[in-house]
Structure 1
Amino acid sequence: MSRKSYATSWITDLKLRGSLTLMRSNQTSANDSRFELLRLAAIFAARGHTIWIKGPADELRTAWLKYYSDLFEAQARLGCSKRIIQCPAHTDYDALFGGTDLQSSLATGSIVRRAGLIAQGPLIIQMAERWDRSLTTELALAIDHFEPSEARSNGLIVLDESLGDDIPVSPSLTDRCTLIINLQQQPSSLIDQFKNADRNLLTAHRKLGDTSSSDFLHSL
């Protein structure tokens, strides 16, 4: 199965399975189901998967990103030297992929290259709907060529704040997302659940283990 068709079927199945779970539940367990789904998505993200998050820059999204960040930092303490990189909408090609370090080049008399953001750690693409389409295409191609070890330590969080008739996020990025999370109109109780959630990486990973995407769906 191609990368594109795999991602698309995964997204569709995840949304359908999550909806069925919530329809069969009472309100309390429905909220728990939502939290568990979002928590497992954060674990997937910390393990290098590409996640598409739809919703405003509100307290719930902040809480989810903080939980993801805490999991990744716990991983860093266990030997991963990379850090999470925030990429605003005005990020350009040289910043993302690297370019000539003019100051160092002038000082040394030879061309010195600086590493791009993509080489430094997992990226959080802020306001992805506003990114230049040519740049997101280049980023998508770079994702395609990640080695497995790079994908595990890099990953990508695509933050989508588009509404209604807004220009959508480039399909070149969304087609490469392992799963989609819609944080719009979710209960505020999820915020406290994330603030109080276990930050122990080993516990979190034991919950997920080496679960494949398909197994993850069947665990809901």
Structure 2
Amino acid sequence: MKWPGKRRTRWIAGGVAVAALLAGGITAAVAATGSDSPDVPASSSADAGFARDMAVHHQQAVEMSYIVRDRTDDEEVRRLAYDIAQTQANQRGMLLGWLDLWELPKVPEGAPMEWMGMEDMPPGEDGALMPGMATRTELSRLGKLSGEKAEILYLQLMTRHHRGGVHMAEGCVRRCEVPVERRLARGMVESQESEIALMSTMLKSRDAKP
């Protein structure tokens, strides 16, 4: 699928903006955590576990959003995908920035969601490591569809993805000790619930279900 030069420029500019947000997010994370909580959380803490798992979860949301941008002309879907990609890439930068600041591993030391008491959760299949995540098969299918079919699958996958993200963020609100991280988690819950409602409306307009 070929795109006019103006549209390509807009998305390239968006990628530059994401990189800038990542750098700024890490700087802000370091400054905010240093002032809010002088104590470094343990590697086994909810703070560290949430940062690791949500960084992985967010990375897939960014990936799905960049896939759908090339599969549809619909400006509403492309705008939503752009917002999700920028927001979650920025938040991912903050989470990884905290792990850097705390000098903790970025790779989970145990099972995904162990920090939430979900270590007995069945292992994810086909690349879906945590609740809400898409499988490799679903991502491959998204990359092969176009137009309204791609829009519907993206909205369905992202709705499920957001629900999993909200569940994890609510877990951090209850368990995390670092104040700035709890604030970020609360913001994730609010923004992703709002986007779930928006995506439900967008799916209904396409005669599709979440």
For the pair shown, the structure with the greater C-alpha radius of gyration is 1
- Identify, as 1 or 2, the structure richer in strand: 1
Looking at secondary structure, tell me which structure has more helix per residue. 2
TM-score (norm 2): 0.29
Higher relative contact order at CA 8 Å, sep ≥6: structure 1 or structure 2? 1
